Structure 1
């Protein structure tokens, strides 16, 4: 895959500390990419001020935009020594995710980067509606950033699906791995393949007294291991970096991320219905809530954002 040329960072308006911006600048510095610090703002009270004329409301909105842009530009000053081409963009929009996706599509952005929020009491991650809309509807990769560092010689996990061998899923597996290898080269990281396989269905063991659950489990495990190793061989990934475990993806992926102390998990996401929605539906929600590292959501080739269809 090609290097990133444009990286759009969704700015958190509530804090001066921008973890997503830090990560984006790290990525951009390794590929000479342009970074757009993007802030979408909206205050409903300005729209409801009926005693003001349209021109006066426009002037008030522009005043707020100018104020926030000055605040953002002050934050960007600290990144100047890094030698990265970075600039700010502040827009007035009542649906932040829509403004981000539309800007990204109109300006040929290669990657959207957004930080997540820690809950103070439990240190759990709170994903906002904007996060989920970006994950489901953005046609380009979305990197959700936490506070976990990306050290040299780190680990990148690829969550791959081998239950289906159709062309769509094979292509998506390949795309996930290509992104991982590209980032691994930039950060001298290692790539790991993670896959979960289903255990013995309880109803089979109950309804068929002679059913050999152990033999069934062994057969399913071997099938998944063989398919994962075939993919690993294709992409020159060491077999020792292949991890096939019994269980659901939403359990296996976080467990392996913690065990490996991974810096990044990459998921292939489609976000429609049926199996296509599996990784971006409940599975992704469980995975994202459970991992303590960044997550990169990749769409398949040809994916069209619902915003393009509106």
Structure 2
């Protein structure tokens, strides 16, 4: 069921036990057994914060070597306001030093290093006041698979990871691990850009109601569900934006007569796109004033819309594609994510299953919690 913004503008916490929703962590033993044996990938639909049939948890990926932890700060803030549990994860994914004393036991060395990481997590947890915090330190690789495996184990409704935006160059640094998580993480992925948030954050959902880019129809509804639920719970405001690029149509115009026909056709298409956007947004409780159609290429129109609306969070969809499609479309996606100044939440279709297996592939896997 979609979560809609209250007409009065009052903040309603959809995660509160007083909401009447019953939480359950029950799952069939057969499915759990198949997961442990590595027979399935995610083993669950790619749901998100609006799905309340599970323990409400945020998984935050921590870089223990970093001096600042914007993802932990954001995760604690969101968890506190929504009444969610916070789980901190530190991953060690490299090898041991090449030269160890002969008497050194590699397993004990790994355990000692993980204990050190666990100590870092414990210090961070002490700063997360008013939030229930659990933590886990794992030795697993590659990094994105380690994060996804923890996602499969702990079943969070959100995964948060830092992805810093640099205002001096007006770009974010989206790493290889970020891209792998965007493609394969079964839970909604929240990339934290580090900027401070308003008390009532503006959440902007970027949708494609005409499915020009081959997105499944239910993905747009899923995007709006996530945006509306977060905006409601955080006491903010949800907006819906659709970017339509009609430049290819106008490029075909020949003479003045043909140009006039093309212009009329373009206006008709604009009206159709706007109507579909309004209908899609209205079904999720977003009025016409907060449903905007923007013109231009996505790589330019999406970041511009986010800035003009002063978005604190942009909610977007990701679709599993072939490697060839990744190569063709990846440049546009990279431009969009690089230019967005605000936090980004990437959601998958509900029936998405991660290709990453539940069982660790590394023979030296280890975890402490």
- Comparing both chains, which one has the higher relative contact order based on Cα–Cα distances under 8 Å and sequence gaps of 6 or more? 2
| 17, 20, 38: which one aligns with 2:71 | 20
CA distance in 2 between partners of 1:92 and 1:148 (Å): 30
Is there any run of 5+ residues in structure 1 with no aligned partner, and where?
none
CA distance in 1 between partners of 2:323 and 2:276 (Å): 23
CA distance in 1 between partners of 2:146 and 2:122 (Å): 20
Deviates more, 1:179-188 or 1:165-174: 165-174
Shift of 1:269: 0.9
| 174, 177, 180: which one aligns with 1:133 | 180
Is there any run of 5+ residues in structure 2 with no aligned partner, and where?
1-49, 362-369
| 298, 302, 316: which one aligns with 1:267 | 316
Please report the TM-score for the alignment, with normalisation by the length of structure 2. Answer: 0.75
| 97, 101, 116: which one aligns with 2:163 | 116
Shift of 1:189: 1.3
Match of 1:210 in 2: 258
Which has more helix, going by share of residues? 1
Please report the TM-score for the alignment, with normalisation by the length of structure 1. Answer: 0.89
1:158/1:176 contact within 8 Å kept: yes
Match of 1:174 in 2: 221
Shift of 1:98: 0.7
Give per-residue Cα distances to partners, 1:99-133, cap 9 Å, x unaligned: 11011112222211001134596363211111111
**Is the partner of 1:193 in helix, strand or coil?**
strand
Match of 1:239 in 2: 288
Match of 1:75 in 2: 124
Match of 2:36 in 1: none
CA distance in 1 between partners of 2:255 and 2:170 (Å): 44
Q: How many residues align?
A: 306
Cα separation, partners in 2 of 1:197 and 1:304, compared to 1, 3 Å: same
CA distance in 1 between partners of 2:72 and 2:168 (Å): 25
Residue 39 of structure 1 pairs with residue 90 of structure 2: yes
Shift of 1:273: 3.0
**Is the partner of 2:74 in helix, strand or coil?**
helix
